[in-house]
Amino acid sequence: MFDAAEVDPFALERTCESDSLELAQEVFLHATQALLLLAANGYPRAVRSTAARRNAELRRARGDQEAAAQLALEEDTTEEVKEFLLRLVPYFGLPAAVVYPLWKLLRKICLVASIFGHDLQQEAVQAAVLLAAGGLHSAEAAQPRLEKALQALWKRLARGAVRAVPVGTVLGALVDLQGQAGELILAHFRKGSKQQDYSAPLDPEPTLADFLQMLQQTGRSQQKWSLHVCSVLSLDLAAWLIVSALGPILLNFEMGPNTLLSSL
């Protein structure tokens, strides 16, 4: 169950206010696809890649995939890039109350899938992640396609609504799914598991210095003053500035994962 701080840790929106807003299907589908891409691949010097997190978990578990997957499900991710993510809200078009729990769910599932050796660059695996997020069995889509999986997740979270639904309905469905997700996620990805080399550390956990370096390389006009402000204020503000610069890049849906990751 999500507590109030997890759902809206920075109180950017009051739950009573956001619950009455309506969430359009089209907005949800595009935003969820962007979140999935970010959850799977990470973002250079901002969000650690799932491959790097997978390797770290497998090393902790000494190569035991089952144990590593359990660790991933139990891991507390409340601190991970939460301000970075929440400041994406204006670009995603989703309320913070939906973005944050949906991100946490997708991030965990991507990690479990990767631990079991599934390639997150494959459309079928991405579709399986979305089906697992919706508590839907993979048997419901023998040849899962990303578009159909997005639609299935929307249908589950919107409780059958077609075009729009109150935000509170989606949030309530996410809370329900969180409570029953663990075993279903494992069941999704145990099948077809593959052993892999997990010795390489790959990209490290991003630091504030990494954030600032990335900001320097964006070529944005705000760099000169933002670097000074970030040096004396909080990481939260640094993250906000980064997202202000990168939001349009993250939501360029014509870009594939490789292009996205090399865009800096």
H helix runs in the chain, sequence order: 4-7, 15-18, 25-41, 50-60, 65-74, 82-86, 89-92, 96-115, 123-133, 146-157, 167-190, 208-217, 223-232, 235-250, 257-261
Contact (Cβ atoms closer than 8 angstroms) between residue 171 and residue 19: yes
Label residue 74 by pLDDT band (50, 70, 90).
confident
Per residue in 120-174, pLDDT (tens digit) is 999 999 999 999 999 887 654 455 789 999 999 999 999 877 788 999 999 899 9
Percentage of the chain lying above the pLDDT 70 cut: 63
Contact (Cβ atoms closer than 8 angstroms) between residue 71 and residue 61: yes
* Alpha carbon distance 218, 122 (integer Å): 29
What's the whole-number average pLDDT of the chain?
A: 74
> Is the pTM higher than 0.95?
no
Higher pLDDT, 217 or 94: 94
Higher pLDDT, 37 or 179: 37
Label residue 92 by pLDDT band (50, 70, 90).
low
Mean pLDDT computed over 228-238: 41
Tokens of 59: 């090393």
Per residue in 12-60, pLDDT (tens digit) is 444 444 556 888 999 999 899 989 998 999 887 778 899 999 999 999 9
In a 3-state reduction of DSSP, which class is residue 23?
strand
Label residue 254 by pLDDT band (50, 70, 90).
very low
